[in-house]
Structure 1
Amino acid sequence: EPCYVYHPLNAYDDDGRVVMDLVVHPKAFANTEREPSQGEPSMQRWVLDPAAGTCSRTVIDERGQEFPRADERLAGRRHRYGYSVAVPELAGLGGGQGGPGGTLLGYDVVAGTVAEHHFGAGCTPSEFVFVPAAPDAAENEGWLMGYVHDGATDTSSLQILDATDVAAPPVARVELGHRVPQGFHGNWMPEAGA
């Protein structure tokens, strides 16, 4: 079935099969190059079996979302946790000036659960990055950090969430007093010059 993928959460080899968790758009650039995505992008798991020549697709979450992330230390290896940004007023991308606001989704793909952190009406989160508590910390032991734009005040804040309890209030919030333009991607560098 034709579709479009901008961003994978992660992928790994599972005994000769490739397992991929990714955000899937039903269409992209179908009407105009100015509207890159049409329809609600969903979080899906694809399992590619090269020996059998098959690809199975399972929807993990139907909500419109984008910018999935996992613990970067596990890139290309089996993961349990992942995170993504849902923004209902966008059908996947952009920034709202009202409405229900954006939500950070925290997935446990082993347990099949999702935790939600709601930022509030008119608030649009950027991509959140996982920061491990220590170099040898367990997966999900650390923080999620990202910018959140408040459409009512046209200002942004840097918010830091406990990755083990995504639904809880932020552990830290830095009000910046001005808008930080929505960016696509962020990265964490554990040391200066790394």
Structure 2
Amino acid sequence: MHPIVGEDGLARPAWAAADTMLRDYYDHEWGMPVRDETGLFERLSLEAFQSGLSWATILRKRGAFREAFAGFDPDAVASFGASDATRLMADAGIVRNRRKIDATIQNARATVALREEQGLAALIWSFQPATTPMPETGADVPTTSPESIALAKELRRRGFAHVGPTTMFALMEAVGIVDTHLLGSHRRGSSGIWAADGTRAERGSA
């Protein structure tokens, strides 16, 4: 489906055109560069929780997730133990999936360990491709890429869990590493990282 023009005259993909919460997220956050450790750990965690669910479900629970996971401070989450996992499994405000909860705690510890080398942000951004997709319709948007496959493999090697290629591609979309805004969307190219022709722009390029 091609971009849908809303009552405000702005074109958006179908997933962001109807629901007010998703529209605001699309207009102001999705696809904008995130380069700090906490921001990337949060988004990596939320993308993992989203697996098998709708993004709207996760977005509605984002405040509860932040409260439950100490603002996604990697140091704090890395210190979580069995009692914290039990607490989280009893928290109706989040997605109560033990495997995903355990993965988030494990990933916090792996994030802290990465500081001895380049750090989480530098590692994730090192997989930015030379060009980005140029989708005209939602059907043209890929769900994985060679880079997301390689990123997933490297993160798993570093001790991360629940970081498959599809989840990592969704992360790369969300934090601006690739631009999959549809051609014709009012947000296409807004990150400053990608030029209109799908090549890296000067401003903000990694």
TM-score (norm. length: structure 2): 0.26
Higher-strand-fraction structure: 1
Compare relative contact order (CA 8 Å, sep 6+) and give the higher one, 1 or 2: 2
TM-score (norm. length: structure 1): 0.27
